[in-house]
Amino acid sequence: MTNSIRQFPCEGLICPICGEPLLQNGGSLLCGRNHSYDIARQGYVNLLPVQQKHSLAPGDTPEMLAARRAFLDEGHYSAIRNDVIRALDGIPGGVKAMADVGCGEGYYTAGFQRIFPQARVIGADISKAAVRMAASCDRNICWITATASRLPVKDGFVDAVTAMFSLLCEEEFSRILRPGGRVIEVTAGTRHLIELKRIIYDDVFAQHKCPKAPAGFLREIGCELRRFTMTLDGRQLRNLLLMTPHTLRVRPENRARIEGIDSLELTVEYFLRVLERAEN
């Protein structure tokens, strides 16, 4: 074991309390007004002040995160990740810095950093447990606990924001984007995992989905509905159920039915939307 202090990739970060730039000072990040944030030994920084937290442990539970990691690492959603990488590749001027907001356990974030090794990649999530798990993926990534509605990132610092099955905070994403920068958003379509939802819900199509039109900070430049199928065995299906919010709503008798399934073909359907920062 060494006690050497690791460099934390903090360029572009600002203090969530006063907005001053954050610089590394030993094992902490410090702003000009002496607000200090410890760099956790796992390689992330908690930049979510208590006043921005709306619950004690916001976000997915550790059990949901472990299921998400096991499922995603098997590559079932690699086509989605590749779609987003292509969209990032198409950003005029390239991607020198980006933020993956609502990064979860970091599967997509780590994939983006691998494809864009020169880019400064920030992975942000409101869940400390998620960011702690994510930090084990790639130590070059700037992993932070933060809320999407108040990102501790300088104005205009990033070329891209990704929001993978997470939330779109238009005004805030537009603030941290440079002019011409883009948001790549992935959201579930109405038929996403329809075969699983038919087991769980009585009225599946009542949950009709479509991305909301942007309110003015971002301009939509493309939105496509993509679809593919995957066949899962029982273990994979249980992980899938556990990693989604459906796990919180499924009735015990339906959970038992799902747990008895050996193999199921499922539809994966998602909107891939590209939005550009609107000119001021």
Ligand X SMILES: C[S@@+](CC[C@H](N)C(=O)[O-])C[C@H]1O[C@@H](n2cnc3c(N)ncnc32)[C@H](O)[C@@H]1O
Among 31-39, 97-105, 174-182, 268-276, the segment contacting ligand X (CB under 6 A): 97-105
**Residue 169 Cβ vs ligand X, minimum distance, rounded to whole Å:** 8
Distance from C-alpha of 158 to C-alpha of 97, rounded to nearest angstrom: 5
Q: Is 37 in the site for ligand X (CB under 6 A)?
A: no
Helix (H) or strand (E) holding 224: strand 218-233
Taking CB under 6 A as the criterion, the residue among 12, 102, 111, 123 binding ligand X is: 102
Taking CB under 6 A as the criterion, the residue among 59, 156, 211, 214 binding ligand X is: 59
Burial class (CB in 10 A: 0-12, 13-18, 19+), 230: middle
Q: Is 147 in the site for ligand X (CB under 6 A)?
A: yes
Backbone angles phi, psi at 149, to 5 degrees: -85, -10
Residue with tokens 């691998």: 114
Q: Which of residues 154-183 bind ligand X (CB under 6 A)?
A: 164-167
Q: Is 103 in the site for ligand X (CB under 6 A)?
A: yes
What are residue 38's DSSP bridge partners?
28
Q: Is 104 in the site for ligand X (CB under 6 A)?
A: yes
Distance from C-alpha of 184 to C-alpha of 158, rounded to nearest angstrom: 13
Q: Is 60 in the site for ligand X (CB under 6 A)?
A: yes
Taking CB under 6 A as the criterion, the residue among 13, 37, 47, 68 binding ligand X is: 68
DSSP 116-185: STTSEEEEEES-HHHHHHHTTT-TTSEEEE-BTTB--B-TT-EEEEEEESS---HHHHHHHEEEEEEEEE
CB-wise, 68 or 277, nearer to ligand X?
68
Q: Residue 174: how many CB atoms within 10 A of its CB?
A: 23
CB-wise, 124 or 237, nearer to ligand X?
124
Among 102-110, 234-242, 246-254, 272-280, the segment contacting ligand X (CB under 6 A): 102-110
Q: Which of residues 197-256 bind ligand X (CB under 6 A)?
A: none
- Which residues of the chain form contacts with ligand X (CB under 6 A)? 59-60, 68, 102-104, 107-108, 125-127, 130, 147-149, 164-167
